[in-house]
Structure 1
Amino acid sequence: MIENCWNILVATEQEQLKLGAALAKFVLPRLVIYLTGDLGAGKTTLSRGILTGFGYQGKVKSPTYTLVEPYEFETFIIYHFDLYRLVDPEELELLGIRDYFHDTSIVLIEWPTKGQPLLPEPDIRIDIKMLTQGRQLCLTAHSLKGQQILQQLCA
């Protein structure tokens, strides 16, 4: 497992959206990104930034009650999961969780610990910590692909 952590400070929600959009420039299908942090840390904000970075212009809502929201693009699909309300990881089996990880998907997962052990390892894990002013994001690569993406983003 590759573990290089890049720490990034963002002062505002707008900066967090810009970081997500910048990350989207390097993200390719067949990628899994875990988003962790306390309630209100900005996991959905970062997801919204990633989606807008790909050109999505609609409303991006947290899929807290639906568990997953799909966003279809011309050649790939982004699945945005929010597992906060997941009671038992076995619920993911009923949802057909394995079907979401394929060659044309990018999967964003908020609260990934609630889906263990049924989720694949991430390529990138983003831990968001709330500060008095802004947020600290620790971006960690867990695969070679993830490392290449973060090196490009943080160059």
Structure 2
Amino acid sequence: MAQPNIFLADEAAATAFARSWSPVLSAPCVVYLQGGLGAGKTTFARALLHGMGHAGAVKSPTYALVESYVLAGKTVHHFDLYRFASPDEWDDAGLGELFAPDCVCLIEWPQQGGALVPAADLVFEFFVCGQGRNCLVSARSEQGKRSLDLWQN
């Protein structure tokens, strides 16, 4: 299966792209959001959550480590592991307890949690490209493949 590489010219394009994923992500699903600082990971998460029906503010979980949103039929946990000094902080914070069959988990900086972070179903990797962004999407499981197929069709 081809890995889509999407050019996002501006924030409006990034928002539309993220919202286009909202109807195809079903729980349980683990989504890695990768890329450098300012690459668009939180922008993607915010637009995805709004597309899934969250009407309020979407805070960056950089300091809280996780922000949770209860939506119709599922809970979305948005993690940011940027500040982890060691993968052991994953267990110390009890974050593994948040993974459940009715959850979609968005994880920024998953590499900071090492092998303790659950494997991804989908990976969105963001790269700064001039004034815009490129996003490479890859499916890493059958659940991820189903979501990617739905999105592409």
Whether these two folds match at TM > 0.5 is yes
Q: May I ask how many residue pairs the two structures share in their alignment?
A: 153
Match of 1:9 in 2: 7
Match of 1:45 in 2: 43
Contact 1:141 1:147 (8 Å CA) reproduced: yes
In 1, Cα distance between the equivalents of 2:16 and 2:98?
26
Which string of whole-angstrom CA distances, capped at 9 and with x for unpartnered residues, describes residues 92-137 of structure 1? Answer: 1122122111111100000000011101110000000000131110
Match of 1:80 in 2: 78
* Greater Cα shift, 109-118 or 90-99: 90-99
Match of 2:33 in 1: 35
Shift, 1:4, TM fit = 4.2
**Partner of residue 58 from structure 1, selected from 56, 73, 86:** 56
Shift, 1:147, TM fit = 1.1
In 2, Cα distance between the equivalents of 1:111 and 1:102?
20
The percentage of aligned residue pairs carrying the same residue is 37
Residue pairs, 1:97-136, within 5 angstroms = 97-136=95-134
In 1, Cα distance between the equivalents of 2:127 and 2:106?
18
- Provide the TM-score with structure 1 as the length reference: 0.94
Kindly report the root-mean-square deviation, in angstroms, between the aligned alpha carbons of the 2 structures: 1.2
Structure 1 spans left out of the alignment, 5+ residues: none
In 2, Cα distance between the equivalents of 1:141 and 1:4?
10
In 2, Cα distance between the equivalents of 1:17 and 1:86?
28
- Provide the TM-score with structure 2 as the length reference: 0.95
Where in structure 1 do 4 or more consecutive aligned residues deviate above 6 Å?
none
Contact 1:4 1:147 (8 Å CA) reproduced: no
In 2, Cα distance between the equivalents of 1:95 and 1:85?
12
